[in-house]
Amino acid sequence: MPSTAVRARLGLAGALAAVLVAAGAVAGPAAQAHERPGHGKPPATLAELAQRHGRYFGSATDNPELTDAAYTKILGREFDMITPGNGMKWYATEPQQGVFDWTAGDEIVALARGHRQKVRAHTLVWHSQLPDWLTGRQWTADELRAVLKKHIQTEVRHYRGKVYSWDVVNEAFNEDGTYRETVFYKTLGPGYIADALRWAREADPKAKLYLNDYNIEAVGPKSDAYHALAKELKARHVPLDGIGMQAHLALQYGYPTTLPDNLRRFARLGLDTALTEVDVRMLMPATDEKLAQQAEWYRDLTKACVTVRRCVGVTVWDYTDKYSWIPAVFPEEGAALPWDEQLAPKPAYRAIREALS
């Protein structure tokens, strides 16, 4: 798993070093010496380093890749929070109206339990990846409200006591801060968000409830819309525990320098925040310069969460380029994650470790 740069820097010798390298539990020798000096102890994992700050460090995963033993070994060791990339979305969990299928989600929950990891459950209400039976007809407000309530409460009750949190509503706003014209918004109006939160809380009073979106890391129209909505929901005593900032970033568009300020203003509302779907893509091919810049961004993102009160953790959107969603959606881009396609750690991995050390 280690990159050429890591192998060149390793100061360990003998069979033990080879075992550690094969297991993927490597960092720069300086970090190793700082974290667990002497006696051949393995370096701390990302999860262990984050826990020292009262944070978690997680990864998304998806069911098809769970047959990859080398992949799942790292997934089970380095992280303490897992997000199912697709297995809990509406198309997977209610493929026919009133007919529920928990197979994919249950597999991820069982995997997490086997590694003593928590689960960020994703997602209950989203405009994408909806089943045809839902999108292929017109609904009255009463009909759709009943469908939405049943879906939310059936799924949340199924996973009650098994998950840390829910992304209850995902991607509710446009870039300019207006509401996204989803089937839910067009049929039910903006009140569907408060209803969804209330129904989720009824079904599992202990799970943390989040609103989640991309391009809200910086202060701007879209994050302002979430701030205003969160303030309104809190004033109305609607259950809302946190705001998830996906942090799908791209080198060519610049770093969200106001992220710390943005995290703080949500904390002042009494809300947790989390970086929930982190990746940092680049125009291909990758170069040493781009990988170094990417590492700085991962370091800065991680530091922002560690240093800002009520940012509870960071989740990368899968940890390896081998299973990244980026190339399929952005064909000229990629290399977005801290491990490469061979499951070797990149400069970004070491930068995260430094931010947590």
- 3-state SS, one letter per residue, for 160-186: CCCCCEEEEEECCECCCCCECCCHHHH
Q: What is the CA radius of gyration of the chain?
A: 20
Q: Rounded to the nearest 5 degrees, what angle is found at the Cα of 72, between the Cα atoms of 71 and 77?
A: 105
Q: Which of 35, 94, 155, 171 is catalytic?
A: 171
Alpha carbon distance 229, 10 (integer Å): 50
For 173-188, how does the pLDDT look when each residue is reduced to its tens digit (9 = 90+)?
Answer: 999 999 999 999 999 9
- What mean pLDDT do residues 255-259 have? 98
In this model, does residue 254 exceed pLDDT 60?
Answer: yes
**DSSP code, position 219:** S
Alpha carbon distance 313, 197 (integer Å): 21
Bond into 37 cis (ω within 30): no
pLDDT tier at 34, thresholds 50, 70, 90 = very low
The per-residue pLDDT for 75 is 98
Exposure pattern of 96-129 as b/e (b: 16+ CB <10 Å)? eeeeeebebbbebbebbeeeebbbbbbbbbbbee
Q: Average pLDDT of the chain?
A: 91
- Residue whose tokens read 């700082």: 34
For 285-334, how does the pLDDT look when each residue is reduced to its tens digit (9 = 90+)?
Answer: 999 999 999 999 999 999 999 999 999 999 999 999 999 999 999 999 99
In this model, does residue 229 exceed pLDDT 60?
Answer: yes
Query: Do 1 and 19 contact (CB within 8 A), yes or no?
Result: no
Query: Do 105 and 111 contact (CB within 8 A), yes or no?
Result: no
- Residue whose tokens read 């992220």: 259
Query: Do 240 and 232 contact (CB within 8 A), yes or no?
Result: no
pLDDT tier at 16, thresholds 50, 70, 90 = very low
Known catalytic membership, residue 277 = yes
Q: Which of 35, 94, 217, 277 is catalytic?
A: 277
The per-residue pLDDT for 40 is 73
Alpha carbon distance 324, 277 (integer Å): 11
- What mean pLDDT do residues 264-269 have? 98
Alpha carbon distance 26, 29 (integer Å): 8
Phi, psi of 102, deg, nearest 5: -100, 10
Known catalytic membership, residue 296 = no
Per-residue three-class SS string for 285-304? CCCHHHHHHHHHHHHHHHHH
pLDDT tier at 41, thresholds 50, 70, 90 = confident
**Beta strand 311-316 with 333-334: parallel, antiparallel or unpaired?**
unpaired
The per-residue pLDDT for 38 is 44
Alpha-helical runs (H) found in the chain: 4-9, 14-23, 29-35, 46-51, 69-78, 90-93, 103-114, 132-135, 141-158, 183-188, 191-203, 221-235, 259-267, 288-307, 326-329, 347-356
Alpha carbon distance 204, 188 (integer Å): 23
The per-residue pLDDT for 20 is 35
pLDDT tier at 39, thresholds 50, 70, 90 = low
In this model, does residue 89 exceed pLDDT 90?
Answer: yes
pLDDT tier at 123, thresholds 50, 70, 90 = very high
Alpha carbon distance 135, 147 (integer Å): 12
pLDDT tier at 194, thresholds 50, 70, 90 = very high
The per-residue pLDDT for 9 is 34
